[in-house]
Amino acid sequence: MTQEALIVLDRVNKRFGDHHVLRDVDLTVSKGEVVVIIGPSGAGKSTLCRAINRLETIDAGTITVDGTPLPAEGKALARLRAEVGMVFQSFNLFAHKTVLDNVVLGQVHVLKRPKDAAERKARELLDRVGIGGQAAKYPAQLSGGQQQRVAIARALAMDPKVILFDEPTSALDPEMVNEVLEVMTALARDGMTMVVVTHEMGFARRAADRVVFMADGEIVEQDTPDGFFTAPGSERAQSFLAKILTH
């Protein structure tokens, strides 16, 4: 793995009213690295993930993506977002567009690819995530697992520098979790830079280069999956792991 920094968060702070959701968060994600963020609910994991493409604004600190500070708004921000893929907990596929059009839309309207090239790429990606046969259907006709795989294909179609996953399996029925995790694991293996907020500890162990543990808006500790899961350093991480791993 190269050590070139792709995303750098420096003393990032955010408040929702009295609630201090992000406290002095420093985080660096290198090119090709898979960073999994875990922690109890309300720890600020999703807010952190959404702040990286400015779906959530921050109050203080800086976020830099590939050397460029996150623009405040306008065309520059749109350009940056096109380079940062995002996969949501609730899929958010465009409900009035077919599966194929969902994957084509960004390529044509943002990257200005010709329609036929965009369709070819979309079909390749849909095949890659195992739903090539569903291209003509609408999102509501697909299962949750299939929808989330389309969402991953939609993000991949933009050739992003990094993909952010905001609890991608939390809204899925248990039997559909694995089909999504398998696609994500394959992506990680292929060298995609990924920031993944998840409760799937198995995925963290298997696919992560680094596990970041957050609680109360702070990064409490970070380590390799092996290091973190076998010997967590902080008391909060120990109690968190004790709670989820004893069942």
Instruction: Specify the stretch interacting with other proteins by CB under 8 A; choose among 25-33, 57-65, 72-80, 210-218.
Output: 72-80
Member of 11, 19, 62, 79 binding other proteins (CB under 8 A): 79
Instruction: Specify the stretch interacting with other proteins by CB under 8 A; choose among 33-41, 78-86, 123-131, 216-224.
Output: 78-86
Tell me, residue by residue from 200 to 239, as one string, x for binding to other proteins by CB under 8 A and - for no binding: ----------------------------------------
CA pseudo-torsion sign 180, 186, 189, 193: negative
Structure tokens at 79: 């350009």
Query: Hey, what's the torsion of the CAs at 91, 92, 95, 99, to 10 degrees?
Result: -50
Burial class (CB in 10 A: 0-12, 13-18, 19+), 96: exposed
Site for other proteins in 118-177 (CB under 8 A): 138, 140-141, 151, 154, 158
> CB-based contacts of 104: which residues, under 8 Å, 6+ apart?
115, 118, 119, 122, 157
Specify the residue, 88 or 203, whose C-beta has the smaller distance to other proteins. Answer: 88
Specify the residue, 111 or 241, whose C-beta has the smaller distance to other proteins. Answer: 111
CA–CA dist 190, 180 (Å, integer) = 16
Member of 105, 161, 206, 229 binding other proteins (CB under 8 A): 105
- In the sheet where 162-166 sits, what is the strand order? 84-87, 162-166, 194-197, 34-38, 210-215, 218-223
Interface with other proteins, residue 106, by CB under 8 A: yes
Q: How far is CA 135 from CA 85, 130, 180, 187, 215, in A?
A: 20, 11, 17, 21, 40
Specify the residue, 140 or 245, whose C-beta has the smaller distance to other proteins. Answer: 140
Closest approach, Cβ 52 to other proteins, in A, equals 10
Interface residue list for other proteins (CB under 8 A): 53, 55, 73-75, 78-86, 88, 90-96, 105-106, 109-110, 138, 140-141, 151, 154, 158
